[in-house]
Amino acid sequence: MKTKIWPLAHVTVVVVLFALVFGLALAWSGPKTLAAQEPAPKQGGIAYVSWWHDQYASAGSDESLTKLADTGAGWISVLATWYQDAVTSTEIYSHAEKTPTDAGVIHAIQTAHGLGLKVMLKPHLDLYADAAHWRGQIGEQFTTEAQWDAWFESYQAFINHYAKLATDNDVEQFCIGTELDGTAVEELRWRELITGTGGIKSIYDGPLVYAANHTYTNTIMFWDALDYIGIDAYYTLTLTSTATVNDLKMGWTRPISFLANLADEWDKDIVFTELGYRSIDGAGMAPWAYGENPPIDLQEQADLYQAFFETVYQEPWFAGVFWWSWDTNPMQGGPCDRGYTPLDKPAETVLRQYFGGAPKGNVGQLTPRPDETKKRDVYTDTALAQGSDWGWWSSTWHGGTIAFTATDQVYAGQSAIRADLVGAGWDAAQIGAWGTPANTATYYWLEFYIKQQNLDHGLQVVFDGGNTLDYCRYTVEQENGWSHVRIPFNKAYAAPRDVSWFAFQTQGNDTTLWLDNMRLIGMLPVELSDGYSQTAKPGETVTYTHILQNFHTDTASFALEASSSRNWPLELRVGDPGTTYIGPISLGAGMTTTVQVVVTVPITESVWVTDTTTVIASGVDTIVMYNDSLQDFTIIPPIRVFLPLILRAF
């Protein structure tokens, strides 16, 4: 935007007229207290992403969006990617497998709206078969007006398609382009694309933004045609992997200075249309780099979030942020994930703090115990397990090999499974079931021991018709390089179903992994939280509070009983607030309730004694009785005797 300079005489006349009008207004209205105007709320957003045709419409996506909304975010951006073959191509097209369907995009928008989230639709353009270049170089090799005409005509059709979709689905904001640096020199063509006949504004009348790359200087000259300046803000903040939060805050000094001047020059607020950091050591050194795999560092990601919120987020010209990224897999993230998502990492705690979400907690969440009477072997030391009417088969996806009698690495017994996977794209060791199905209503976990080497890009477990999970989330213990893993089927599938197949997949490098003692195993469907101890004096009453959880896949009934080893008076209470227990209680699938034991210490009880209170919860089942128990300990300490201190004056 260019600044218009008025002649001094014009300024004088305007000032005098303003003073007269303002004075008359004050005289008519009398004295008033002028309240400070509240600044517009920041767009606290998260980038919601998928690069596959059917993921946005999945049940897993709905679950993932619910988790996103729980962070306190008020906005999401929804990604939809089209492609051109190479940097010199002029034809832009949707890909049958990679581009999300319109129905899926609409489903994500409607689901977000139902959760109270506002939406920025953010179409992307990528190169499909040109690994040597990236989208920012599109146009740099165009040499004729015909090439520019063809490309902009194709881009107009692409972007108008989503502008109409945004209008039809009440999308609150629209991003007209992302990181297309090489095309920005064509200012007049961009203006025509936005405001010309048949342009974006003829279809969509909401706020518009363009997402410039963080390397942007002053090459874009059509900001005045938009409502916001957008920046994908992957700035280098440090040159070391040991930077503190204060170091990272200092790293924002130069970008903030540039961005403040940019906002002032164009009189436009700035939105970070993308900002993200991987949970790796040195994440602040090159935030845009997603291919390298240094050690995991969850705290550095959290520190980078904090540094941003304590600096840029407070600036008056700053209108909002869309954190990169959050995908449709509800089990993304976690303590072993190197990616950008903050889910189930310390960065999520920071995000919730500044977005106003409730603290994340797992209050009342218990872990069921294995039921050794319910198991189905998958690998039995030298081969995949087989039965008279059921069994297991195996294969690899893209050229890898599987051996079932490997002896170079063995957890227990004589041998283990060895899978050598190849690094060209995705490869996986797949194991499938045949014959009598194994249903997840009977078996609660897939359990195995795993050891691996040369694994730079992570190892995931893929379930047919279910979620893709990071096995590291479900590691029970580690010993001599082996990880003992139990993956709950309720994390893989939304509802009980037959196990068709599962696979151990990786991408990008040759990988060897060993698997041993693999089986499906059931769980004991009733669990009480642990007991604990308290001290009390004779005549006092103490209360022990526990959680009872039903791990059945449907509603179940439980009977409770409690006893005192010293026959002290006690009362058993259930619920919140607690009421006296009088008979079996029913709990829905996965539901919890509070169980309280109120113990009264007799006034005549001796010191230095300990009472053990035992609580038993039994599942009322016509076939088998399940039960769990706990013990609380009430300790009566010795009575302290204080003798008077006599002071003498000498």
637: exposed, middle or buried (Cβ count in 10 Å: 0-12, 13-18, 19+):
exposed
- State the architecture of 526-635 in CATH terms: Sandwich (2.60)
Position 37 pLDDT exceeds 80: no
Predicted pLDDT at 369: 86
Q: Quick one: average pLDDT of 414-432? A: 91
* CATH architecture of structural domain 369-524: Sandwich (2.60)
Alpha-carbon span 121 to 207, nearest angstrom:
11
Element (H, E) at 406: strand 401-406
In this structure, how many other beta carbons lie within 10 angstroms of the beta carbon of residue 174? 27
Dist. CA 416–CA 377, nearest whole Å? 14
Enclosing H/E stretch for 124 = strand 118-127
pLDDT 10s digits, 466-523? 888 988 889 888 888 899 999 999 889 988 899 999 999 987 678 899 999 999 999 8
Residue 554: per-residue pLDDT: 81
The answer to whether residues 490 and 591 touch, using CB atoms and an 8 Å cutoff, is no
Tell me the domain boundaries of the chain. Answer: 43-355, 369-524, 526-635
Average pLDDT over residues 462-468: 91
Q: Per-residue pLDDT for 425 more than 90? A: no
Token pair recorded at residue 1: 């935007």
The answer to whether the beta carbons of residues 159 and 204 sit under 8 Å apart is no
pLDDT for 290 equals 85
pLDDT over 60 at 579, yes or no: yes
- Of the CA atoms within 13 Å of residue 443, those in its CB half-sphere come to 21
pLDDT digits (tens, 9 = 90+) for 391-405: 999 999 988 999 999
Tens of pLDDT, residues 13-23: 333 333 333 34
Nearest Cα neighbor of 417 from 430, 406, 427, 426 is 406
The 10s digit of each residue's pLDDT in 266-299 is 999 999 999 999 999 999 999 999 877 788 899 9
pLDDT at 640: 52
Of 353 and 554, the structure prediction assigns the larger pLDDT to: 353
d(CA 386, CA 408): 24
> Which residue is it, tokens 């520190």?
303
Percent of the chain whose predicted confidence (pLDDT) is above 90: 67
More confident residue, 218 or 16: 218
Task: Burial-class residue 394 by CB neighbours within 10 Å (0-12, 13-18, 19+).
Answer: middle
> Which pLDDT does position 18 carry in this prediction?
39
Distance CA 223, CA 228 (A): 7
More confident residue, 146 or 369: 146
pTM value?
A: 0.73
Interval 297-325 mean pLDDT: 97
CATH superfamily of 43-355: Glycosidases (3.20.20.80)
Question: How many angstroms separate the CA atoms of 561 and 381, rounded?
Answer: 43
Residue 455: pLDDT band by 50, 70, 90 thresholds? Answer: low
User: Would you say residue 307 has pLDDT above 60?
Assistant: yes
Is pLDDT at 560 greater than 70 in this prediction?
yes
For residue 270, what is the enclosing H or E element?
Answer: strand 270-275
Q: Which residues contact 258 (CB under 8 A, 6 or more apart)?
A: none
CATH topology agreement for domains 43-355 and 526-635? no
Question: Within 10 Å of residue 284's Cβ, how many Cβ atoms?
Answer: 23
For residue 17, what is the enclosing H or E element? helix 8-29
Q: How far apart are CA 134 and CA 53, in angstroms?
A: 22
